[in-house]
Amino acid sequence: MVFTSSTVSVSVIFIIACSWTIVASLYVSSLNGTAMQYIKDPEDIENITPKYYMNLICKEKILLNSRRAVIISPWVTNFPPATQQCIMGVEENAYRNYKLVLTFKTMNLYMRSSGICDKSRLDVYDGQSIKDVDRITGNHGLCGTDTEKKFYETTKTNFVILKYITNNLPANVSQYFEAVITPYHYGSCEEDEFRCSNNKCILNDLRCDSYNNCGDDSDETCNTSYSAVNSSLSTGAIIGIIIGSLIFCAMVVAIIVAVVMCGVCNLYRRM
Tens of each residue's pLDDT in the chain, 271 residues: 444 555 545 555 555 555 555 444 444 444 444 333 333 333 344 446 899 999 999 999 999 999 999 999 999 999 999 999 999 999 999 999 999 999 999 999 999 998 899 999 999 999 999 999 999 999 999 999 989 899 999 999 999 999 999 999 999 999 999 999 999 999 999 999 999 999 999 999 999 999 999 999 999 998 754 433 343 445 555 666 677 777 776 776 677 666 556 665 565 555 5
Domain residue ranges of the chain, discontinuous segments joined by +: 2-35+234-270, 42-222
pLDDT at position 226 = 42
- Residue 125 host element (H or E): strand 120-126
Fold classified for 42-222: Jelly Rolls (2.60.120)
Q: Which residues does 5 contact at the CB level (< 8 Å), separation at least 6? A: none
Tally Cβ neighbours within 10 Å of residue 139: 8
What pLDDT sits at residue 102? 98
Q: d(Cα 164, Cα 177) in Å, to the nearest integer?
A: 11
Q: In this predicted structure, what is the pLDDT of residue 21?
A: 54
Q: What is the reported pLDDT for 247?
A: 79
Confidence (pLDDT) at 12: 52
Q: Give the ranges where the chain is alpha helix by DSSP (H).
A: 2-33, 45-48, 224-232, 235-270
Whole-number pLDDT of residue 148: 86
Instruction: Give me the pLDDT at residue 255, please.
Output: 72
Of 215, 199, 220, 208, which is closest to residue 153 (Cα–Cα)? Answer: 215
Say how far residue 5 (Cα) sits from the centre of its chain: 56
Note the pLDDT of residue 56: 97
